[in-house]
Amino acid sequence: MSVRDFQHFINGEWTAPAGGGMIDSIDPSTEDVIARVGRGNAHDINAAVGAARAAFPAWRDKKPKDRARLLFDLARAIEARVDEFAKWETLDSGKPLPRSRGEVLSTARYFEFYAGAADKYYGETIPLGADYIDFTLREPMGVTAHIVPWNFPMNMIGRSVAPALAMGNTAVVKPAEQTPVTAMLLAELMQELGFPAGVFNVVNGYGTEAGAPLTAHPDIDCITFTGSVETGRIIMKTAAEHIKPVVLELGGKSPNIIFADTDLDLAVAEASKGIFSNTGQVCSAGSRVLVEARVRDAFVEKLAARTNQIKVGRGMDSPEMGPLVSREQYERVEIYMGIGREEGAEVAAGGNRPPEFEKGFFWQPTILDRVTPEMRVAQEEIFGPVLAVLTFDDEAEALEIANGVKYGLVAGIFTNDINRAMRLARDLKAGQVYVNEYFAGGEETPFGGYKQSGFGREKGLEALINYTQVKNVAIRIR
Ligand code: NAI
Ligand code: MG
């Protein structure tokens, strides 16, 4: 397979990186180089922000229905190329091919969903009495910055860029250095479809070299970031300098609470999906299972049996679980396994590198049993295929453990007791609550964090708030 080279996409053109350097992107299943992208710096960012600024007035003033049509065209064009895009997403990230397909189709769905909103997001009229007419306008922000992580490379671009463009903003995207390829394929497609130059720009590079100057640029109007708490904190501080709004979607240590009255086979299947999907590299992973004490043994036995059957393999072979995205991520999992063992957790499944692979960042699907709430493996985000199993005696204890971490992204509840489900849904500190199906929801449902999982909401109509500002016009009739 030949290695593809991509320059930055700035002002509708392929633009050589100002500093001249390139970054290798590797396939984490084989450690082979599959592509090279520009190593962006402040000069490249400056050019991209300038292009986005110049493109903004015309894009903003385009009729919403015409913006929508272009975005609908993009959705259909992404669907038409699903095989090609999925292949590259898999090569770049290690994801199993069927998962990449799903994520590419979901990217198309974001463009479709927000295209539909482009001409339907209205202002209001506000009654001030007979002598006034008062109305609100929802105006775009301007130039939007998108700092994207590596766990859902193309999908997350769709998630934030689609609502931004639909509302009349322009965008500068900085993909993750580990997984830059599909952003470039999207740029190619938008160029083909005739998106106006400068509406969508992509500058690749490292966080400190390209991400930091983007978030610090005085001429951007808002920042959407998904990634680690540490980087989120830096970005928020940087944004404070120019008083720019930020949406931060950070990590999680989300609880999946399983009561004895639930169908155990269902709970096992959903707990497995919750942690092993995308090799556990999911901000909303159900990385803590809280299981009611009296079904604990049966649950762990069934879950361990299922876990041992999961086929780990190269993304292109469509296994159930692929490798971790990078050596750093692999080492992080290894370190946390050591911490868990030291803390006294019992390994009920997995726990090691699968012996059959000489290369690639593979890790066995792993269950840490007899975890207690104060352990680091119960508190800290591992971001790999490592599940912590804790037990509780009653609902009150389950709630206390569930809420007893610094994060609050999502929570799962498995029970047949509707009142219990409703009480917990009310009391859990989480931006999304799933009852009887983990990851329930879709592009339509608002998503974001409580506590240190961040703030602001993406997905659904709720996300449009991030990419608009409201102007109130009050008119006195004389
Ligand atoms: P990161 O938060 O450093 O990287 C995410 C994105 O931010 C990348 O595009 C990166 O280039 C950019 N970035 C890094 N430093 C920046 C800076 N100073 N200014 C602007 N942009 C910057 O995450 P990393 O190092 O890849 O992963 C570390 C941990 O973060 C993971 O192990 C995981 O726990 C968590 N993480 C959470 C994600 C989520 O979905 N919430 C996604 C990715 C990572
Ligand atoms: Mg890669």
Question: From CA 425, how far away is CA 416, in angstroms rounded?
Answer: 14
Q: Which of 25, 174, 177, 228 gets mutated to test ligand 1 (max ligand atoms within 8 A of its CB)? A: 228
Is the C-beta atom of 212 inside 6 A of ligand 1? yes
| pLDDT confidence tier of residue 2, bands split at 50, 70 and 90 | confident
Atom 11, ligand 1: which residue's CA is nearest?
Answer: 207
| pLDDT over 90 percentage in the chain | 100
Q: Which of 37, 147, 246 gets mutated to test ligand 1 (max ligand atoms within 8 A of its CB)? A: 147
Task: Identify whether the C-beta of residue 38 lies closer than 8 Å to the C-beta of residue 23.
Answer: yes
Distance 323 CA to ligand 2 centre (A): 11
Distance 267 CA to ligand 2 centre (A): 33
Is the C-beta atom of 180 inside 6 A of ligand 1? no
Distance 49 CA to ligand 2 centre (A): 26
N- to C-terminal Cα distance for the chain?
74
Task: For residue range 306-364, list pLDDT tens digits in order.
Answer: 999 999 999 999 999 999 999 999 999 999 999 999 999 999 999 999 999 999 999 99
Q: Which ligand is nearest to the CA of 145?
A: 1
Distances (CA, A) of 76 to 80, 190, 219: 6, 12, 32
Atom 20, ligand 1: which residue's CA is nearest?
Answer: 211
Pick the CATH number of 255-442 from 3.30.70.1450, 3.40.309.10, 3.50.50.60, 2.60.120.10: 3.40.309.10
Atom 19, ligand 1: which residue's CA is nearest?
Answer: 212
CATH homologous superfamily for the domain 4-250+454-474:
Aldehyde Dehydrogenase; Chain A, domain 1 (3.40.605.10)
Closest CA to 409 of 258, 287, 308, 270: 287
Question: From CA 16, how far away is CA 378, in angstroms rounded?
Answer: 45
pLDDT at 477: 98
Distance 85 CA to ligand 2 centre (A): 14
Task: Identify whether the C-beta of residue 207 lies closer than 8 Å to the C-beta of residue 231.
Answer: yes
Atom 40, ligand 1: which residue's CA is nearest?
Answer: 283
Task: Identify whether the C-beta of residue 23 lies closer than 8 Å to the C-beta of residue 37.
Answer: yes
Average pLDDT over residues 43-54: 99
Q: Where exactly are the structural domains of the chain?
A: 4-250+454-474, 255-442
Distance 337 CA to ligand 2 centre (A): 24
Atom of ligand 1 nearest to the CA of 382: 34
| pLDDT confidence tier of residue 115, bands split at 50, 70 and 90 | very high
Supply the DSSP symbol for 218.
Answer: T
Using H for helix, E for strand and C for coil, what is the string for the chain?
Answer: CCCEEECEEECCEEECCCCCCEEEEECCCCCCEEEEEECCCHHHHHHHHHHHHHHHHHHHHCCHHHHHHHHHHHHHHHHHCHHHHHHHHHHHHCCCHHHHHHHHHHHHHHHHHHHHHCCCCCCCECCCCCCEEEEEEEEECCEEEEECCCCCHHHHHHHHHHHHHHCCCEEEEECCCCCCHHHHHHHHHHHHHCCCCCCEEECCCCHHHHHHHHHHCCCCCEEEEECCHHHHHHHHHHHHHCCCCEEEECCCCCEEEECCCCCHHHHHHHHHHHHHHHHHCCCCCCCEEEEEHHHHHHHHHHHHHHHHHCCECCHHHCCCECCCCCHHHHHHHHHHHHHHHHHCCEEEECCCCCCCCCCCCCCCCEEEECCCCCCHHHHCCCCCCEEEEEEECCHHHHHHHHHCCCEECEEEEECCCHHHHHHHHHHCCCCEEEECCCCCCCCCCCECCEECCEECCECCHHHHHHHEEEEEEEEECC
Beta strand 432-435 pairing with 410-414: parallel
Atom of ligand 1 nearest to the CA of 150: 43
Distance 133 CA to ligand 1 centre (A): 47
Question: From CA 228, how far away is CA 179, in angstroms rounded?
Answer: 16
Is the C-beta atom of 209 inside 6 A of ligand 1? no
b/e per residue 195-231 (b: at least 16 CB within 10 A): bebbbbbbbbbebebbbbbbbbbeebbbbbbbbbbeb
Task: Identify whether the C-beta of residue 415 lies closer than 8 Å to the C-beta of residue 290.
Answer: no
Atom of ligand 1 nearest to the CA of 383: 34
Atom 37, ligand 1: which residue's CA is nearest?
Answer: 227
Task: For residue range 366-408, list pLDDT tens digits in order.
Answer: 999 999 999 999 999 999 999 999 999 999 999 999 999 999 9
Atom 38, ligand 1: which residue's CA is nearest?
Answer: 227
If phi over 0 gives left and psi between -120 and 50 gives alpha, with beta otherwise, what is residue 238? alpha
- pTM of the predicted model as reported, rounded to 2 decimal places: 0.98
Is the C-beta atom of 155 inside 6 A of ligand 1? no
Question: From CA 21, how far away is CA 429, in angstroms rounded?
Answer: 45
Question: From CA 72, how far away is CA 274, in angstroms rounded?
Answer: 31
Is the C-beta atom of 177 inside 6 A of ligand 1? yes
Is the C-beta atom of 42 inside 6 A of ligand 1? no
Is the C-beta atom of 368 inside 6 A of ligand 1? no
Atom 42, ligand 1: which residue's CA is nearest?
Answer: 227
Is pLDDT at 458 greater than 80 in this prediction? yes
Task: For residue range 122-132, list pLDDT tens digits in order.
Answer: 999 999 999 99
Atom of ligand 1 nearest to the CA of 175: 9
Across the chain, mean pLDDT equals 98
pLDDT at 320: 98
Instruction: Give the residue numbers marked as catalytic.
Output: 249, 283
Distance 228 CA to ligand 1 centre (A): 5
Is pLDDT at 1 greater than 80 in this prediction? no
Supply the DSSP symbol for 125.
Answer: B
Task: Identify whether the C-beta of residue 309 lies closer than 8 Å to the C-beta of residue 319.
Answer: no
Task: For residue range 186-235, list pLDDT tens digits in order.
Answer: 999 999 999 999 999 999 999 999 999 999 999 999 999 999 999 999 99
Size (the chain), residues: 478
